[in-house]
Amino acid sequence: MFFAALVLPSILAGEDDAALRSLAVDPTDQLLISALEVQQTDMDCSHLVHYLYQRSGLDYDYVDSTRLYEGVKSFRRVARPQVGDVIVWRGHVGIVVDPVEHSFVSALRTGVKVSSYVSHYWKGRGAPRFFHYIG
């Protein structure tokens, strides 16, 4: 995850990350890089998260955001999210980008975006739950 902390500013700035991607060894690093590369998709939020986890070698059986919110065996609920953890509300899911900055990436109607989960909008959706992948 140290890698993610080093390259995150470059990715968010839109710099070419092909060389950075080749350096990623940790699946969480690859997950974050893949998530930040996607700008547009026809997938909904839960399909995007599932796709990105699979692309990074972190396999689990697909479930929608409501089921993820309830909890599934591939994820352990955590109180303190880490980079790459899943953030879930009833009806929406994303991937934590930076827990210090309270940011996550998800598929929205306007495209794949990084948002703050402490913004007025997301707070209005209720308290999110965070889950760490355990396989």
The pLDDT tens digits of the residues spanning 20-79 come to: 445 555 777 887 787 777 777 889 999 999 999 998 889 999 999 999 999 999 999 999
| pLDDT at residue 3 is higher than 60 | no
CA distances from 24 to 14, 28, 31, 80 (A): 17, 9, 9, 24
Confidence of residue 89 (pLDDT cuts 50, 70, 90): very high
What per-residue confidence (pLDDT) applies to 122?
A: 95
With contact defined as beta carbons under 8 Å apart, do 93 and 49 qualify? yes
What per-residue confidence (pLDDT) applies to 4?
A: 45
Q: How many CB atoms lie within 10 A of CB 119?
A: 11
Secondary-structure class of domain 2-133 per CATH: alpha beta
Torsion angle of the four alpha carbons 28, 30, 33, 39, in this order, in degrees rounded to the nearest 10: -110
What order of strands is seen across the sheet that includes strand 75-78?
75-78, 129-133, 86-89, 92-98, 103-108, 111-116
Q: How large a percentage of the chain has pLDDT more than 70?
A: 81
Q: Tell me which H or E stretch contains 117.
A: none
What per-residue confidence (pLDDT) applies to 38?
A: 77
Handedness of CA 99, 133, 114, 55 (dihedral sign): positive
Beta-bridged to residue 96, according to DSSP, are 104
What is the rounded average pLDDT for all residues in the chain? 84
- Rounded CA-CA distance 83/119 in Å is 18
What per-residue confidence (pLDDT) applies to 85?
A: 96
Beta-bridged to residue 116, according to DSSP, are 103
The model's pTM:
0.79
